[in-house]
Structure 1
Amino acid sequence: MMNETQLSSFNYQFDTNTGKCLYAQVGLHNESADSTEFVNASIRVKPDDLPEGKDFMQLSMKDLITIAKQKLAADTAIKKENQNTEPNNQ
């Protein structure tokens, strides 16, 4: 059984010309109690991942970590395969 996913790194990337935050890079780590299975992920949280009307400076680090964990879960979830296996011959 895996433990709770933990933060391993957190970095903001800024545009050097405008000073605007471009994205947050969030490193996440998780391992099983016996350390035989583990997950290391680096998730980029981009402006379009943020709640509508919010920017990076309006959200806490905890908020951004939560968004990164949600992205990791969505990215690694088993996707439902397309039911149509016939080629599209239009």
Structure 2
Amino acid sequence: MKTVPSQEKNHMCLPASFQGSSRNCRMVIDCTDIKVATPCQMDLQKQTYSVYRSMHFFKLLLGVSPNAVITYCGSVSDKAIVQKSGF
């Protein structure tokens, strides 16, 4: 699934632990980097290289709804995460 569930759908499946102050939560997101071997192709090297860490990484964004359903996963850059998040 690549879309965030509607508020109505989330409220129907919301676990008790989220019913209090977290009742408006629609997704818990986490970004992580996974170290990878240096790719052979130059364009892939550019996409995976981290100047900060001097290593190659695959970046993953994962979104999980409060009832533990994975609602989004994909590869995305930090810049794109910030631009698309609305923050």
TM-score relative to the length of structure 1: 0.35
- Structure number with greater CO (CA < 8 Å, separation at least 6) is 2
Report which of the two has the higher share of helix: 2
